[in-house]
Amino acid sequence: MAKNLVIVESPAKAKTIEGFLGKEFLVKSSFGHVMDLSKKNLGVDIENDFVPNYEISTEKKKVVTELKKLASEAEVIWLASDEDREGEAISWHLTNALKLDEAKTKRIVFHEITKNAIQNAIENPRSIDKNLVDAQQARRVLDRLVGFELSPLLWKKVKPALSAGRVQSVAVRLIVEREEEIKNFKTESNFRVTALFNIQNAKGRSKLSAEVPTRFKSKEEALEFIRKCKEAGFSVKSVETKPAKKSPAAPFTTSTLQQEASRKLGYSVANTMRVAQQLYESGKITYMRTDSVNLSNLAMGMAQDEITSLYGENYVQTRKYKTKAKGAQEAHEAIRPTYLNNRDIDGDASQKKLYELIWKRTIASQMSDAILEKTNVTIDVSTAKKDFFAKGEIVKFDGFLKVYMESKDDENADEMAGVLPPVKNGDILNRLEIRGEERFTQHPPRYTEASLVRKMEELGIGRPSTYAPTISTIQKREYVIKEDRDGVNRKYHCIILKDEEIKDELKTEKTGFEKSKLFPTDIGTLVNKFLIQYFDNILDYNFTASVEKEFDEIAGGKKVWNEMIREFYGPFHNQIEDTLEKAKKFSGEKLLGVDPVSGKNIFVKIGRYGPLAQMGETDTDDKPKFAGLKKGQSIETVTLEEVLELFKFPRQVGAYEEEEMTVAIGRFGPYVLHKKKFYSLGKEDDPVDITPERAVEIIEEKRKKEVENTIKEFEQDVKVLKGRFGPYISIKKKNFKIPKDVNPEELTLEECLKIAEDPKNTPKKRYVRKKK
DNA sequence: CAGTGAGCGAGCTTCCGCTTGACTT
């Protein structure tokens, strides 16, 4: 029996550490928090100093039982959860849940998983820092109070099953406000004049491209300048060179890994985390949920060796990076390969790609600066005051650029200047072509998942472990949708001077194309408007920062946690009560126009099931007619014509097999109804003008699929079917799983009925959210 | 998945952070 029980948060970490500690130590994991506020109710006793009602989380009962048993058998229990607010609380909850004897219990912390660090920790135990625990309790209780009082208010005033919280509501706000900025953005155009020159000097003949650094406000101004260029002579007025350097980016944190994997590999935030988890579990990288840019001395040594052997000593420049993130807790190392001499790994393609990215970023972070030389050439135009400029950049020493270059969100923000041909003062240039192109100002970019994470980190909102879940929550609640949008064609003017001729052309370019961007939905916009109107203090971008400051004071022993909560809750709860009383139902109703046939008003608004159109008033005797908006339509942009189309459903499209086919638009999109069965229309089908032939085709397609998915069919209501999770038995629309040792091909009717009777094969009545 | 929408009212939804598998129709 082991004398010592060490408890860490993650099982992968437990495995590693056990190797360092030897036989006397058993290392186990708590799998994160084991206790949390009661899920059934508020979980906080408002009347009684906000005493939290903690429960052992249902999914943690098993591990708690096991740890309790092991703890009772051990002589010393070492609580080795992370050294941050949450980690301290985990240790404290463990002492309570496992009923640990204080005399036998020691709290230890380490920042890196090395033998030295861990042995050092064992030699320097401490006790649980109750102030830090209290800071966590304040954080937890505040989030619960905000979430569980705001959400029910939304159910009453806006729509059921909505949610609000300190983090998610601000994330939605960012996206809604960015969309407003874009809507209000006035595009302006100006003219950019560029030139291509021929240059002949002692060093030979070459080409040089240059541009006028200031833009021309109008076509006339650009044209006037280009006319002058037609008669002008061009010569080099000055050549300036100056040294410059570039430094590598810091090693990855969760947030920067998500951003780079998104830009360079096109991964979603959730995908990045899934793949990183796999790499972590197989021991290939260090922990992937971290806000630290710090590398251990061990890692820096490994990097130094690897860089020396691959590129030579002059490429090594070890560096310690400092975090810039607000509220960083730095309980872990930066994300890096466990062994830096492994340049590639075994694994699937996505693991290999992500690993390579992490390897490059880590190695580059310990490499020399790149030494550059920047050159600016000014070209005089003999007939005009304005000059042309050419910018060049040469790499004198590549340094870290040999391995890795961080990418940017805005691809054309910083165009890499190329290499310039050799030029000197007084060189004469011959113009080949001069162009004046109309350019447009651009609205601020929409957020991607990854750029939203970066913004949240900048505001100190959310933690590495919650970035991905938060982004998924706001999409699940349908506050925000991630999608592509087609661009539109835009005409622009282009003036070209070639030889002695000036041409004015009208060209076309595609603009506004969006790929995997976050757009607010009608519901997101409405909920945000409601929250801003009544709870601007909670939605304030600085709310988290200001409560964090108070949590720090609690952690420092300068404040008592439930007094802080009391000061917050009093006014907050009054706000809730006030809003409950004063705010009317918030539906975002908008009068769109009048139905030309009936003369009734047509409104659009948010209903119980989402955006809808309404014909007629609700407060008259005549019942109004309703129609849900189609997917992709929005209250903001839908037109009267489009809404009138919606009221044409359900419509008959003809008969098939002597029964009517009806097309309508339901909760899950347009469908054909035939013999009481539903057939969803395809993406390319337009329900307005679908032909009877196409409707029949859709019906037949689905029937064919059903046949393909049927393994066996007994009586009409007893079937063995192929599903998403393998074969199953369907009896009168109820589904039953097939035991593993049964071959579904060989099932008989009696066996099926018998399986259906066995209670362990019946589907669990688990609550499943209807929203995807 | 299920094809609604007024109003009535029962009974449901909900937060953030720390961790992974078990399980789904």
pLDDT in tens, A452-484: 999 999 999 999 999 999 999 999 999 999 999
* Nearest protein residue to the C1' atom of B16, measured from CA: A143
Q: Which nucleotide is nearest to A462 (CA to C1')?
A: B16
d(CA A3, CA A76): 7
A771 pLDDT above the threshold of 80? no
Q: Which nucleotide is nearest to A770 (CA to C1')?
A: B1
Region A751-765 average pLDDT: 67
Helix, strand, or coil (residue A395): strand
A418 pLDDT above the threshold of 90? no
Which pLDDT does position A772 carry in this prediction? 30
* Nearest protein residue to the C1' atom of B4, measured from CA: A609
A658 pLDDT above the threshold of 90? no
Which pLDDT does position A288 carry in this prediction? 97
Which pLDDT does position A566 carry in this prediction? 98
d(CA A299, CA A474): 37
Confidence of residue A686 (pLDDT cuts 50, 70, 90): confident
Region A359-367 average pLDDT: 98
Confidence of residue A767 (pLDDT cuts 50, 70, 90): very low
Catalytic pick among A267, A280, A287, A315 = A287
Q: Tokens representing A343?
A: 């340049």
Confidence of residue A411 (pLDDT cuts 50, 70, 90): low
Looking at residue A225, its amino acid is F
Q: A503-545 pLDDT, tens per residue?
A: 999 999 999 999 999 999 999 999 999 999 999 999 999 999 9
Q: Which nucleotide is nearest to A614 (CA to C1')?
A: B5
Q: Is the dihedral of CA A454, A460, A461, A464 positive or negative?
A: positive
A770 pLDDT above the threshold of 50? no
Q: How far is the CA of A156 from the C1' of B10 (A)?
A: 15
Helix, strand, or coil (residue A3): coil
- For strand B, the positions having any atom within 7 A of a protein Cβ are 1-7, 12-21, 23-25
Lowest mean pLDDT among A135-149, A264-278, A595-609: A595-609
Confidence of residue A410 (pLDDT cuts 50, 70, 90): low
Distance of CA A692 to the CA centre of its chain: 43
Q: How far is the CA of A158 from the C1' of B6 (A)?
A: 16
Region A343-360 average pLDDT: 97
Lowest mean pLDDT among A101-115, A132-146, A540-554, A617-631: A617-631
A769 pLDDT above the threshold of 60? no
Q: How far is the CA of A529 from the C1' of B4 (A)?
A: 26
Three-class SS of A721-765: EEECCEEEEEECCEEEECCCCCCHHHCCHHHHHHHHHCHHHCCCC
A717 pLDDT above the threshold of 80? no
Which pLDDT does position A721 carry in this prediction? 78
Confidence of residue A765 (pLDDT cuts 50, 70, 90): very low
Q: Which nucleotide is nearest to A760 (CA to C1')?
A: B23
Q: A186-220 pLDDT, tens per residue?
A: 999 999 999 999 998 888 899 999 999 999 999 99
* Nearest protein residue to the C1' atom of B6, measured from CA: A618
Q: How far is the CA of A770 from the C1' of B2 (A)?
A: 11
Residue A698 parent element (H or E): helix A692-708
Give the ranges where A186-289 is alpha helix by DSSP (H): 219-231, 254-260, 269-281
Confidence of residue A753 (pLDDT cuts 50, 70, 90): confident
Q: What is the pTM of this model?
A: 0.92
Q: How far is the CA of A330 from the C1' of B18 (A)?
A: 15
Which pLDDT does position A414 carry in this prediction? 46
Which pLDDT does position A159 carry in this prediction? 95
- Examine the residue annotation and report whether A311 is marked as an active-site residue of this protein: no
Which pLDDT does position A750 carry in this prediction? 78
Question: Is A727 or A363 the better-scoring residue by pLDDT?
Answer: A363
Mean pLDDT value across chain A: 92
A739 pLDDT above the threshold of 80? no
Which pLDDT does position A397 carry in this prediction? 97
